[in-house]
Amino acid sequence: MMDLNLSPAPAADADLIKDTTEATFMADVVEASQTVPIIVDFWAPWCGPCKTLGPMLEDAVRAAKGAVKMVKINVDEAQQIAGQLQIQSIPTVYAFFKGQPVDGFAGAQPQSEVKAFVDRVTKAGGGQAPGEQLSEAVAAAEDMLSEGAAQDAAATFAAILGEDPNHAGAYGGLVRAYIALDQLDQAEAHLNGAPIEISKSPELEAAHAQLLLARQAADAGPVAELQAEVDANPGNLQARFDLALALQAHGETQAAVDHLLTLFAKDREWNDGAAKTQLFTIFEALKANDPIALNGRRKLSSMIFA
């Protein structure tokens, strides 16, 4: 199994995040930034948005595991520094590296923007942003899954989620790993327990579609017998639909799509539009750039709008 080491051992909070004053600003910010980027949060006790932004910044700095550090300074007690840096309003955040401001923003920001800011500062200091580290780990886990090492992939996806519980790629990957292990109930339980923030993400929609196909595969009929029935009775739409399910269960996705398109062309309303519904399930389970999905969607669209 892959020894997942997403980042260096975390530094103590006291080393990563500290309060400073005018007297210690040079040492804590200008001098300290010679070796690592320092993010400075200018705040005040009476500032409402500061109470929200500060904790988000701290979380993002902790996630960087020492690649950046953070200093907080109360502008009410550091008016000289605030004046020198032309702080017009608070919250204001500056990032220093090599003694100079390299990035910054003013006002409240959503968590995604705060993370992006910390990632930029991390890169400016020559470090690797946490998001990049996780992306590399996800890619490695996907390789394991494609090579048949589903157990190792599941463990790696789970480790990534330990770092970022809302990582849609890792969450979807974990569900797909359980599907590959034929642990369908566990896969479904994870899907049902997905964080609301990512529950409608493409990664989880794809995993849900793959789970539906896996459930169908367990009840799929024999390909040879169904093929013989379709050959003998081309108008038997139920047999054609069942043949498509059986072909999909055996990994013959293109053939399954072809039969479903034929069924749709013969009777698009058959069984409450079952052919179109099944086609969309297959397309969602495939990668967006998969030729089968691209060509199948185009053919289906041409039939719908003909």
Q: Report the alpha-carbon distance of residue 188 to residue 178 in Å, rounded.
A: 9
* Active-site entry in 17, 29, 40, 50: 50
From 29, 32, 47, 247, the catalytic residue: 47
Residue 122, number of CB atoms within 10 A of its CB: 26
Half-sphere exposure of 203 (CA within 13 A, CB side): 19
Asked about 47 being catalytic, the answer comes back as yes
Closest CA to 256 of 269, 243, 273: 243
Q: Which amino acid is at 149?
A: A
What angle do the packed helices 168-180 and 202-218 form, to 10 degrees?
10
- C-alpha to C-alpha distance for 191 and 198, rounded to whole angstroms: 10
List of residues 6+ apart from 200 with CB closer than 8 A: none
| Residue 129 annotated in active site | no
Can you tell me which residue has the tokens 């399910």?
Answer: 245
Active site residues: 47, 50
